[in-house]
Structure 1
């Protein structure tokens, strides 16, 4: 079938809306009519750093309606409202023990450019286009394996839900699935973008006593307060480590770095109390750490977390329930854009005009 898609023709190039061809779904796949797709930093990295083969149709926070199911699909049917999440094999040790975010073939399935059978579904004029995250949701339709398609409630605005498939589940899941902070504990969250703000809301759900947001943009810190951060610090204006240790009488129990900025990663470790735990979710370059003073000497833990250590088919419906009950108002992070304005959405994400852009594809 012919569909309209935002094609990334080459490294660093703008998205181009074009007519492309999409093959029929195979036995375990579904065809989804895309309603809206979130804009994530990982899409920008794929475009600018070519971490996936190009040309490609990017997009990995899709939400839509099932249009057709393959003959072996058992859990989904035409008309279901769904969110698309990351691809995983479903049968390696990590997948089978509830950790598909560290699937043994995660990188191949999400960044390799093909579906799990190593073939393409997308093409233009007979030439293959790479798939991204097993979905390529910057198009009017997408094909995904039933494993990474999550059925969601029909009574919630479907256009809002796509970011639950990656960025928002990353922030919330790092708190709810990985750190699991004790009631009354303290946590510092470095970076008040979509991932960090989602972590703040999750920390409130867990009953953290002090939730400290750190950023360099006052507007984001104001939103962090609205979303129940108990304290905010502007990293350009204060000594963050000193301030946190004073606020918490010695440091936080937990920290999350969403920035990937080496000096900030160091701060997240140095502002922990003894036996504290820091989760790193930002893409961080090679950096120096004083292992003795920053970690070992006070029994601290530094851990990496991918996609919030989530099982999407379990966790995304939980986040929807939290949203419906008023405990997880992630709609406050969102700004909508028309499909034709996808390049503006990415620019606004880069400059901070929008915290979590969502591109509406079907109206």
Structure 2
């Protein structure tokens, strides 16, 4: 199969011929048709000590190519959306409904399948499976629980975008923060995840949605997704603007959708006493967060929440999101601002580094 491979850290991806084994027990092999490009992929690509060689891409959809022993929920030819998390369903976290904390699914960060195996190789040497999906290849392997069957009428490029951006952003609002109707919300960072947070806030019935990003095109686009107040952080103090606009109270909820320590600190400053700041974007390891002295944090009762993948169980969440899309309440097609063949992946990465567009989807069909 063809795959876009990160052969060494902080280097351009290369197209390579990669071997993929047959699925083992509880696994499915999927022929990937579309894969979105997320900033988490870029973070791993540009990191000086990334695990390599590795196939990245974790926002994918495709068609089941083969099923392993014991898989009764999927069959060859099924259309599926792939999730970075394939929960085991039986561990301490899964039985509590906290599937994104599943001990088995955590192997996505180690480049292996949940059983520790690596399904890919080049010339007999193992190739790691990046971020739980490895969607930048024509074939991939996932646990059956990480493949959500969808109706064949759903365009696979649309399903791909649900895989990370939509689930993470909308889930951060509905599952993690549990934003209530009439709340005020600040969203910082308007890439694919940030736009999805805006949409989630709109779905929740937020009365006011402040959207902040230094890129004018993204700010302007956010209005169509539900943002009510557009803020340019390059020439406006976001915290001061939000405080003034809310009569010195602050917003009920703030979301860092870019993954930056300073934005988390801004969220804590922008929220009201008793308000909530949610970390949605994945910050680099060198980022840290400084909060007020402990007693101030205690007195103000402000809350800081971590949010992994929007707290989503994809088997439950994807049908809900698709239903919202089919009923005209969730905008998916406008999230895709560029479509490229997979061999143009480095050009797509350059666009992402330059904050061009919202989501690029690669065609591997």
Please classify the TM superposition score into its range, dividing by the shorter chain length: over 0.9
**Equivalent residue number for residue 203 of structure 2:** 205
Matches within 5 A, 1:154-193: 154-193=152-191
Please say if 1:296 is aligned against 2:294. no
Shift of the 179–287 alpha-carbon distance from structure 1 to 2, 3 Å rule, reads: closer
Q: Which runs of 5+ in 2 are unaligned?
A: none
1:327 aligns with 2:329: yes
For residues 141 and 104 of structure 2, the distance between their equivalents in structure 1, rounded to whole angstroms, comes to 19
1:91 is displaced (CA, Å) by 2.4
**2:214 matched to 1:216?**
yes
Secondary structure, aligned partner of 2:131: coil
3-state SS of the aligned residue for 1:223? helix
Q: Is residue 269–residue 295 contact of structure 1 (8 Å, CA) maintained in 2?
A: no
| Displacement after TM superposition at 1:282 (Å) | 2.2
Quote the RMSD (CA, aligned, Å).
1.6
The aligned residue for residue 132 of structure 1 is: 130
Query: In structure 1, what is the equivalent of residue 310 of structure 2?
Result: 308
Tell me how far 1:243 sits from its aligned partner.
1.4
Moved runs in structure 1, 4+ residues, more than 6 A?
Answer: none
After superposition, give the CA deviation of every residue in 1:225-255 in whole Å (9 maximum; x if it has no partner). Answer: 1111111111111121121122223111111
Q: Distance in 1 between matches of 2:295 and 2:358?
A: 35
| CA distance in 2 between partners of 1:123 and 1:253 (Å) | 49
Q: Normalising by the residue count of structure 2, what TM-score does the alignment of the two structures yield?
A: 0.94
Query: Aligned in 2, Cα 1:260/1:291: closer, same or farther, shift over 3 Å?
Result: farther
Distance 1:104 1:152, change over 3 A: same
Q: Give the conservation status (yes or no) of the 8 Å contact 1:201–1:327.
A: no
How much has 1:168 moved relative to structure 2? 2.2
The whole-number CA distance in structure 2 between the counterparts of 1:20 and 1:162 is 22
Q: What secondary structure does 1:168 align onto? A: helix
Q: What SS class does the counterpart of residue 282 from structure 2 fall into?
A: coil
Give the corresponding residue for 1:241: 239
- 2:265–2:289: 8 Å Cα contact kept in structure 1? no
CA contact (8 A) 1:172 1:201 kept: yes
- Per the alignment, residue 20 of structure 2 pairs with 22
Q: Within 1, Cα distance between the matches of 2:295 and 2:313? A: 35
- The offset of 1:214, in angstroms, is 1.1
Unaligned runs of 5+ in 1: none
Are 1:352 and 2:350 matched, yes or no?
no
CA distance in structure 2 between the aligned counterparts of 1:69 and 1:105, rounded to whole angstroms: 20
Whether the 8 Å CA contact 1:82–1:149 is kept in 2: the answer is yes
Distance 1:26 1:52, change over 3 A: farther
TM-score, reference length from structure 1? 0.95
SS of equivalent to 1:18: strand
CA distance in 2, matches of 1:193, 1:73: 36
Contact 1:194 1:333 in 2 (8 A): yes
- The structural deviation recorded for 1:50 is 6.0
Counterpart mapping for 1:101-112 below 5 A: 101-107=100-106, 109-112=107-110
1:160 match: secondary structure: helix
* In 2, Cα distance between equivalents of 1:261 and 1:7: 27
Map of 1:142 onto structure 2: 140
Flag the 1:294–1:38 CA change in 2: closer, same or farther, 3 A. Answer: farther
Choose the corresponding residue for 1:338, options 336, 341, 346. Answer: 341
